[in-house]
Amino acid sequence: MRLGLPPASIADLSRYKWVLPRMGTKLQTELNRVFLLKGEEVPVVNVLTSSLYTTRAFLRRTDMMTILARSALSEKDTAGIAALEQPWFSLQREAFLATLKGMKLPPAVRTAVQKSATEAAE
């Protein structure tokens, strides 16, 4: 959303129009679940796009909302856009490492993979 217009509660968020990726994604399902658990209306999605460029344009020119991973936009991309801290919303994402079958990983990569696996198991 544009700077200077921060909503105060989840009820405020439900009144905004939203720009989100395609319907049925884990992100949208989780967003809807959070609103319903809080007794609020599911946000109205006015724009469906997977383009970060389009999302950014809507955020800069309207009072629409979106939800993105912090890593999705650079500091330069967020000029004029407010990132709101929302402790009520946390989404865990699964990730995996894919390689060619039988590929021998360099030692540094093997170490990083082992460390990640150890941390994930804790």
Q: What angle do CA 69, 72, 75 make, to 5 degrees?
A: 110
**Cβ neighbours of residue 64 closer than 8 Å, sequence gap 6 or more:** 1, 16, 17, 18, 19, 46, 47, 58
- Asked if 84 and 1 touch (Cβ cutoff 8 Å), the reply is yes
| Residue indicated by tokens 């609020």 | 40
Q: Percent of the chain, pLDDT > 90?
A: 6
pLDDT, the chain, mean: 80
Pick the CATH number of 1-93 from 3.40.190, 2.60.120, 1.10.3470, 3.40.50: 3.40.190
Q: What CA–CA distance (Å, rounded) separates 31 from 52?
A: 18
Query: The whole model's pTM is what?
Result: 0.62
pLDDT (tens digit, 9 = 90+) per residue, 89-99? 666 666 667 77
